[in-house]
Amino acid sequence: MNSFKDDIWTSNDPQILQQKIELLKIELEDSKNNENHLKCMYNTLMKNFTAKAENSFSGKITNELKLVREQHEKEIESIKTRHKRELEFRDIKEKDMQNRINAANAENMVLKQELEKINQGSKIKHNAFNYFCKKFENKLKEMNENYNKNIKIQRDENNQLRHENTKLKQLVGLQSYEFPKELKNFWDNSEQLDSRIQEIELENQAKIDKIEGEKIKAEETAEIWKKELEELARFAINQKSAKKLPISHNKTQTTLKMLSPSSKSPKNIINRRETKEFTFNKNLPEKQSGVDIIRSKSIEAKKALNYYYLLKNKEDLTEKLADRESEISLLRKKIAETKISAPSSPMSQSFVKIGSESTAPSFIFGMKGYPHDEAPYKIDQDQYMMLKKCQKIINSAYAIECENCRNLYITQKFYPHLQKCKNLSVNDI
């Protein structure tokens, strides 16, 4: 509190100093009025007393009156000297206060100049800030427009995806209905293809055996032709056997007629056999690849069926989760409604527990209908000290400390007490 009083009486604030000067002027006027009033009372008393004394008392009493008058004059002179001293003291205080006011005004001028500079800088900053704010707002508008466009595009894409998703679900439903039949058909076709492949292999083996038999026959006919040609050459060399030549020639013609037209030339037979083997070997991997494709399709169909069952289970689970989430949201709404519909009596501040400075205090505010499960509101030591300081400032605003007696008084009683205290201090001096 002393620090607050010192701040008031020793502060350089021009308003506070002006108020103090006005108070001192009021006190001077009051003291002058009191002095004049006392003089008037004293003069009237002396006149009345002298008039009565001349009529009633003797000369001895007049001497006593003179002595009393002299004493009163001495007292008046002493009071005048005291008042002069007090006036001089107050004049000195006024000059001091005026000097302080002048210094404060000079400081205020400097502060005003600094404030003008700061205001100019703040105006520049404010203009720059407004410029950047406008830029930022324009960018925000552009971003919002782009965002809205992107949202529209995404919504359109989502609608398309939903439409496609419904189509796919329909297709999956149809496939799930038709897929078992297709699987059966695939398996039946694969079995038929296996049996067909076995038949083709048997046919090819029979053809190969036939071609090999024809090859053996062609080799035998080639050997026969070779022997007959050798014999013809021998007969041609022997002139003696010239008559027998047509007979052997007739034999070769008959053997050629007996042979089939396909086996007339063994080279053609061999070439045909090789072409058949080549075509068979060429078509075999194609047929094998067809069989592999059918098997892979059947495997993919199995996978697709499993995937369909998994998707179906996923949809069921998502529906269950959505139902559970809706139930949870309803329960939360009910809990919130029960909290709101709890006994809403007016809030009653029960009491405040302030701990000591050594321990951390806790302020507990009681309220009717307040849930007891929640912990009370607590503050730290620093917050408690700040509250104490605020309390001191509030108390100092309601009470003022006297300079002489160092006692606190309410603002209504402070100024009457100040006059009495000053008078007492002057009498003591």
| Whether the predicted pLDDT of 62 surpasses 70 | no
Instruction: Please give the share of the chain, as a percent, with pLDDT higher than 90.
Output: 0
Residue 108: the pLDDT is 81
SS (H, E, C) the chain: CHHHHHHHHCCCCHHHHHHHHHHHHHHHHHHHHHHHHHHHHHHHHHHHHHHHHHHHCCHHHHHHHHHHHHHHHHHHHHHHHHHHHHHHHHHHHHHHHHHHHHHHHHHHHHHHHHHHHHHHHHHHHHHHHHHHHHHHHHHHHHHHHHHHHHHHHHHHHHHHHHHHHHHHHHHHHHHHHHHHHHHHHHHHHHHHHHHHHHHHHHHHHHHHHHHHHHHHHHHHHHHHHHHHHHHHHHHHHCCHHHCCHHHHHHHHHHHHHHCCHHHCCHHHHHHHHHHHHHHHHHHHHHHHHHHHHHHHHHHHHHHHHHHHHHHHHHHHHHHHHHHHHHHHHHHHHHHHHHHHCCCCCCCCCCCCCCCCCCCCCCCCCCCCCCCCCCCCCCCCHHHHHHHHHHHHHHHHHHEEECCCCCCEEEHHHHHHHHHHHHHHHHHHC
As a whole number, the mean pLDDT across the chain is 69
| Whether the predicted pLDDT of 285 surpasses 60 | yes
pLDDT tens per residue across span 252-264? 455 545 544 444 4
Overall average pLDDT of the 104-110 stretch: 84
Lowest mean pLDDT across 233-242, 309-318, 323-332 = 233-242
Residue 177: the pLDDT is 67
The residue with greater pLDDT, 241 or 151, is 151
Lowest mean pLDDT across 52-66, 327-341, 345-359 = 345-359
Confidence bin at 362 (pLDDT 50/70/90): very low
Residue 354: the pLDDT is 40
Overall average pLDDT of the 187-208 stretch: 73
Residue 59: the pLDDT is 54
Confidence bin at 241 (pLDDT 50/70/90): very low
Residue 51: the pLDDT is 60
The residue with greater pLDDT, 338 or 78, is 78
Overall average pLDDT of the 267-274 stretch: 60
Overall average pLDDT of the 348-354 stretch: 38
Q: Which pTM was predicted?
A: 0.22
Confidence bin at 374 (pLDDT 50/70/90): very low
| Whether the predicted pLDDT of 196 surpasses 70 | yes
Confidence bin at 31 (pLDDT 50/70/90): confident
Residue 233: the pLDDT is 67
| Whether the predicted pLDDT of 277 surpasses 80 | no
pLDDT tens per residue across span 134-185? 888 888 888 888 888 888 887 888 788 788 877 777 776 776 666 667 667 7
Overall average pLDDT of the 272-299 stretch: 69
Overall average pLDDT of the 400-419 stretch: 73
